[in-house]
Chains A and B, each alone.
Chain A
Amino acid sequence: MSSYAVNRLVQELFRQPGLLERFRERRGEVYDEYGLDPAQRAGLDEGTPPALAAAGVHPILQMHFLLASNPDVARLITVDAYRDDAAKEA
């Protein structure tokens, strides 16, 4: 099976209003909607970079998934610490 189904789901997580929330609450329903096969579902359920890679998720979209699913990654990859400085300079 093409890996596009799983990539299509991940690339929509931040683009389609409400999808991320639905994924967090009822991911099985979202898997069905996007037609993921068992291996792709297992890859997202495990959610580590090696598991995502094995499921065929593009390296950049792996970052999308980690930002969406792992609070530690979201806390690391943010400009929050620099925004106030930028606002002061404006």
Chain B
Amino acid sequence: MGRLVAAGACSHILMSPQGVEERARAIVSGIRELGRRLVAKQPDLVVVVSSDHMFNVNMSLQAPFCVGVADEYVPFGDMDIPREPRPGHRAIAEAFVAQAARRGFDLAKAEELRPDHGVALPMMLIDPARTLPIVPVLININMEPVPGPARCHALGGVLRETIDTLRPAGERIAVLATGGLSHWLNIPRHGEVSRAFDQEVLGSFVRGHPEQLTRLTPAEIVEQGGNGGLEIVNWLFMAGAAPGWAGDIVYYEEMPEWFTGMGGLELREAA
């Protein structure tokens, strides 16, 4: 059996540091610190769970969940992210899709995924040498109906089952969720940040009890954390793969200048 060795989550945007230099530095340092912690666990690959910003999964074909099964990924290049290739990991991606089908989740598979900033930006900071293989898992928060929090959490559990039962002994896997925290993007309340929502979310995860978040409806998340706040379903997927894990907040900054709350955390297996 394989082993989940690391789990974490972080926001996935950066904007110009002009005028917010100190907080921007803290955010970049936070993402790098999270990366150092994940890499220190010597994973063979990282499953990166994000939303796609309609560069791959757009309105022409709307899949709730999509898994990259390719051998290599070249970023889409949005936000001027370098289009430099990073290895994929076909075997675990295929095993996950197959196990999900046995558990009632029919997942879309992608050979031609061009990861946008949701996947590529954190990985640019966490693994700048681009040696760690990734498996992108995209959760489509931009469609109606939005995949619900409980279902995303349960799908994370299927990933864990895949790791525990279908992967070779000695294989070490990390899972990284990206996105959030609160932001209202081009809807009423655009630009607001909710520190209360962000702290509630971060606290729920680091205490090892995000279950209360799985009981929220997507509409309730939008009300409390904005349409961008829906990206916490990516974090719930990660927590579903790491049940009972608790941890600590690595960084948090309110960034109204960037229209979002930004945070990151690491979860660890109970000793």
Chain A interface residues (CB < 8 Å from chain B): 4, 7-8, 11, 14-15, 49, 52-53, 58-64, 67, 75-83, 85-87, 89-90
B82 CB-CB contact with A under 8 Å: yes
A76–B60 touching, CB < 8 Å: no
B186–A53 touching, CB < 8 Å: yes
A90–B129 touching, CB < 8 Å: yes
Report the bound CA distance from A49 to B79 in whole Å. Answer: 19
Partner of A82, one of B28, B78, B185, B190: B28
A11–B80 touching, CB < 8 Å: no
Q: Which residue of B lies closest to A78 (CB)?
A: B80
Task: Compute the total of residue contacts between A and B using a CB distance below 8 Å.
Answer: 80
A58–B54 touching, CB < 8 Å: yes
Tell me whether chain B's interface is mostly helix, strand or loop, or mixed.
Answer: loop
Total interface residues on B, CB under 8 Å, equals 33
Q: Which residues of B contact A67 (CB under 8 A)?
A: 78
Report the bound CA distance from A64 to B133 in whole Å. Answer: 29
B128–A49 touching, CB < 8 Å: no
B186–A81 touching, CB < 8 Å: no
B79–A64 touching, CB < 8 Å: no
Given A59-B187, A60-B142; A75-B16 close (CB under 8 Å)? yes
* A20, chain B: closest CB distance, angstroms: 13
Of B81, B129, B185, B186, most buried by chain A (CB within 10 Å of CB) is: B186
